[in-house]
Amino acid sequence: MKRTILLSGIGFLALLALLLPLSFGGFWTQKKAPAPSASVIFGGDMLFDRYIRKVGESVGWDYPFSCIDHALSYADMVVANLEGPITDNASVALMNDDRDDVNFIFTFPPAVAPYLARHNIRLVSLGNNHTFNFGYDGIRQTLDNLDRANIMYFGAPRFPAGLLEMDESDYVMATTSLKGVPLAFVAYNEFDPEGATASAARAIVALTEAKTSGVIPILFAHWGDEYAPAPERVKKLAREFVDAGAKLVVGAHPHVVQEHEEYNGTLIYYSLGNFIFDQYWNDEVRNGLLLKATFSGARVTGVEEMSIVLQTDGRTCLSTLPSQPITKP
């Protein structure tokens, strides 16, 4: 004999409440998708002339990166200061490296550009005191060489009218969407041909524009005094950049690692020191810093420091790892 189970309206609803979670596999507790996240490694000053050029042309341009390449791959992109133009001009510093009058006039061979990209350096700052070493022709060659290597850039000096069509966004700021995270890299160059005040004003406008557009603004500065702590003029300006919207401030030029601080919730690293360079006379110039920053939503969600050391064979290595020379050129 069949048995029939009759449920009251209340009983039916109770049973349905029990069965729905089982039928839809957690439908009711589905979580919101996490916000996109991206990471960027910041480095300091890069030189590919003088001794580093001799090394690169002797054993190959991979060599200066050979014991740090794995670290550079830890992030989605590497950003650093390109301390000179990339041109087909002969190197005067290499040929006359004992003459002070030309020892600081730099040019890097075109072969360097694709190797930067090969080692994840996808964006470079041109806002420094050596970009102009070979004039406007040197800058034009630099932009062409970087374009061919698919490397972005920001901070190039403005060209006089008629020489090259560039608006302010082309040379002050570079924007990119990295894994869905919108980032804006803004340059400040204390040694800009138009003056530090003009460079700072353009940077503040760019930071404000980026912030208003919903892009995460990052200020990359070339400033301060070489081989010395950060001066008060730099600290004051860094805080003005934060007030204008910068979510991270990173500096270069002094060739030594300087102090860092937090201001209004934003980290300021006044100088990361040398990244790829041929300065070896003391620990201060040999030891640099890489900064890995993670971005998510509209803010910086994490910062990791990686100490590096310049080896006298031309390589840059993590200072926390063994750094035995491979083959000294």
In a domain, 190, yes or no: yes
In a domain, 248, yes or no: yes
Is it the case that residue 85 has pLDDT exceeding 60? yes
Q: pLDDT tens digits for 275-317?
A: 999 999 999 999 999 999 999 988 999 999 999 999 999 999 9
Number of separate domains in the chain: 1
**Predicted local confidence at residue 297, as pLDDT:** 87
Q: Is the pTM of this model over 0.85?
A: yes
Q: pLDDT tens digits for 176-224?
A: 999 999 999 999 999 998 999 999 999 999 999 999 999 999 999 999 9
Q: pLDDT tens digits for 102-118?
A: 789 999 999 999 999 99
In a domain, 328, yes or no: no
In a domain, 10, yes or no: no
Is it the case that residue 12 has pLDDT exceeding 70? no
- Listed in sequence order, the residues at least 6 apart from 60 whose beta carbon sits closer than 8 Å to its beta carbon are none
In a domain, 9, yes or no: no
**Predicted local confidence at residue 180, as pLDDT:** 95
Is it the case that residue 56 has pLDDT exceeding 90? yes
In a domain, 27, yes or no: no
What CATH number does residue 198 fall under?
A: 3.60.21.10
In a domain, 267, yes or no: yes
In a domain, 113, yes or no: yes
What are the residues facing 262 on neighbouring strands?
Answer: 267
Q: pLDDT tens digits for 123-154?
A: 999 999 999 999 999 999 999 999 999 999 99
Q: At what angle do helices 196-212 and 232-243 cross, to 10 degrees?
A: 30
- Percent of the chain topping pLDDT 70: 83
Structure tokens of 314? 């031309």
Structure tokens of 306? 């990686």
The sheet with strand 216-222 has its strands ordered as 173-178, 181-189, 216-222, 248-252, 266-269, 260-263
**Predicted local confidence at residue 94, as pLDDT:** 81
In sequence order, what E strands does 147-286 have? 152-154, 173-178, 181-189, 216-222, 248-252, 260-263, 266-269, 274-276
**Predicted local confidence at residue 162, as pLDDT:** 62
Instruction: Residue 178: give the domain boundaries.
Output: 37-318
